[in-house]
């Protein structure tokens, strides 16, 4: 399987920035490929939060040049039975634990294959039990960036772990029940209601008024951008990634509304 590495390596983790973990992984990779260019997507994923890590990576990965390798380590099962994983798509490679972190890619048309990383000669030896980011994932990703053939890294697998990703429900012809899947740094509430679903149903709603509610609290109308909201109440919009988002201009919507990830949100006509 052909893959031409670009020399760009992204990193996503729950390691934070207070400890030496991220820098150590970069050091390991630079010893193998000193020409690597690193881009940090995020190291502030909440500890052990695989779904949040998956969402952050999904939001960013496709904006990188073809040939980019995405290294992601959110790994509560480190040292256990979960497999180290290499995922191959048309344009990118993904390296990290086989725990659902790459679920979003397996149903994509660009997905090509998944491998269990088994070639110990491409790991640090001896590999410790608690820092596979340093000992397995980082060196494997770095060797791939030098042109090491994918086929040498391990064996093909057909059962990578997938997360159960929440999907919106259409109730009758006039209601969508979604779920908050991400709360960003500003307290904006990102739902799993895609603009395509909204537009498809909206076409049949005519001039009927649209309502949005969460935790029995009403949300203002859907606007085009943040500036059209007000500081008096929350509003909704479809963000640049195509998801319905609830925001409160000048404030933290999550705190004001008392909403966390997982809360149901309803969009309906009256």
Per DSSP bridges, beta strands 111-117 and 154-157 are antiparallel
Reported as a single tens digit per residue, the pLDDT across 20-50 is: 999 999 999 999 999 999 999 999 999 999 9
Nearest CA to 74 out of 30, 123, 137 is that of: 137
**In percent, how much of the chain has pLDDT > 90?**
87
Task: Please give the backbone phi and psi of residue 269, each rounded to the nearest 5 degrees, phi first.
Answer: -110, 155
pLDDT for position 147: 96
- 8-157 is classed in which CATH architecture? 3-Layer(aba) Sandwich (3.40)
Tell me how far the alpha carbon of residue 97 is from its chain's centroid: 14
Reported as a single tens digit per residue, the pLDDT across 92-140 is: 999 999 999 999 999 899 999 999 999 999 999 888 889 999 999 999 9
Which residue is associated with the tokens 């537009």?
A: 199
pLDDT for position 1: 67
Reported as a single tens digit per residue, the pLDDT across 210-235 is: 999 999 899 989 999 999 999 999 99
pTM, two decimals, is: 0.91
- 203 — pLDDT class (breaks 50, 70, 90): confident
- Extract the tokens encoding 225: 């951008």
- Extract the tokens encoding 116: 């269990």
Domain 169-269 in CATH 3.30.1490.190? The answer is no
Q: Where are the domains of the chain?
A: 8-157, 169-269
CB atoms within 10 A of CB 63: 8
- 193 — pLDDT class (breaks 50, 70, 90): very high
- 142 — pLDDT class (breaks 50, 70, 90): very high
pLDDT for position 80: 86
pLDDT for position 262: 95
CB 57 within 8 A of CB 87: no
């Amino acid at each position: 399987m052909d893959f031409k590495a670009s020399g760009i390596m992204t990193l996503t983790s729950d390691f934070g920035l207070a400890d030496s973990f991220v820098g150590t992984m970069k050091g390991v990779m630079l010893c193998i490929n000193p020409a690597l260019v690193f881009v940090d997507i995020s190291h502030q994923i909440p500890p052990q939060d695989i779904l949040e890590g998956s969402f952050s990576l999904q939001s960013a990965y496709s904006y990188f040049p073809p040939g980019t390798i995405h290294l992601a380590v959110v790994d509560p099962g480190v040292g256990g039975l979960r497999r180290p994983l290499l995922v191959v798509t048309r344009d990118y490679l993904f390296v990290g634990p086989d725990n659902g972190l790459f679920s979003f890619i397996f149903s994509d048309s660009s997905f090509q294959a998944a491998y269990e990383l088994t070639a110990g000669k491409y790991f640090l030896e001896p590999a410790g039990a608690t820092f596979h980011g340093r000992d397995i994932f980082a060196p494997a990703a770095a060797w791939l960036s030098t042109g090491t053939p994918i086929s040498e890294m391990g064996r093909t697998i057909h059962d990578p772990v997938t997360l159960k990703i929440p999907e919106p429900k259409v109730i009758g012809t006039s209601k969508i029940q979604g779920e908050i899947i991400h709360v960003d740094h500003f307290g904006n509430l990102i739902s799993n209601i895609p603009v395509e679903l909204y537009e498809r149903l909206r076409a049949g709603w005519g001039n009927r008024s649209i309502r949005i509610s969460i935790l029995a609290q009403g949300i203002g109308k859907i606007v085009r951008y943040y500036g059209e909201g007000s500081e008096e109440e929350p509003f909704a919009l479809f963000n640049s990634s195509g998801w319905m988002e609830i925001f409160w201009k000048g404030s933290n919507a999550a705190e004001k509304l008392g909403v966390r990830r997982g809360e149901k949100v309803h969009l309906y006509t009256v």
